[in-house]
């Protein structure tokens, strides 16, 4: 398993990424929302996150990230520490 630090280094402008799974915890609906569908390109990145085709994605906390190979899963938590959403992505191509 790779670290958050490695994830931040690996995500580069020009990379293509696809969201392949999306779920609000506690529901059975796993359909990826329309605005997140398809292969999207990293347009910018900075200290707070990265931008995929105009949509800003904040860097997750280390405890909210699973990163291995070319896939990463972000599971943000609410203020009580409970996961409220799960998003899984595949890095289609890295420019480096």
Q: Which one is predicted more confidently, 1 or 18? A: 18
Predicted confidence (pLDDT) per residue in 10-50, tens digit: 999 999 999 999 999 989 999 999 989 999 999 999 999 99
Percent of residues, the chain, with pLDDT higher than 90? 91
Read off the pTM. 0.91
Task: Write down the domain spans for the chain.
Answer: 4-93
Long-range contacts of 8-14 (CB under 8 A, 24+ apart): 8/59, 10/91, 10/94, 11/42, 11/45, 11/50, 11/91, 12/42, 12/45, 12/94, 12/95, 12/96, 13/42, 13/43, 13/44, 13/45, 13/95, 14/41, 14/42, 14/95
């Amino acid at each position: 398993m790779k670290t958050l630090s490695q994830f931040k280094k690996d995500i580069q402008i020009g990379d293509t990424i696809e969201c392949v799974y999306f779920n609000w915890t506690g529901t059975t609906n796993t359909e990826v929302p329309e605005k997140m569908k398809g292969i999207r390109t990293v347009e910018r990145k900075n200290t707070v996150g990265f931008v995929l085709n105009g949509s800003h994605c904040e860097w997750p906390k280390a405890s909210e990230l699973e990163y291995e190979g070319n896939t990463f899963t972000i599971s943000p938590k609410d203020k009580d520490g409970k996961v409220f959403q799960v998003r899984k992505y595949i890095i289609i191509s890295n420019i480096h």
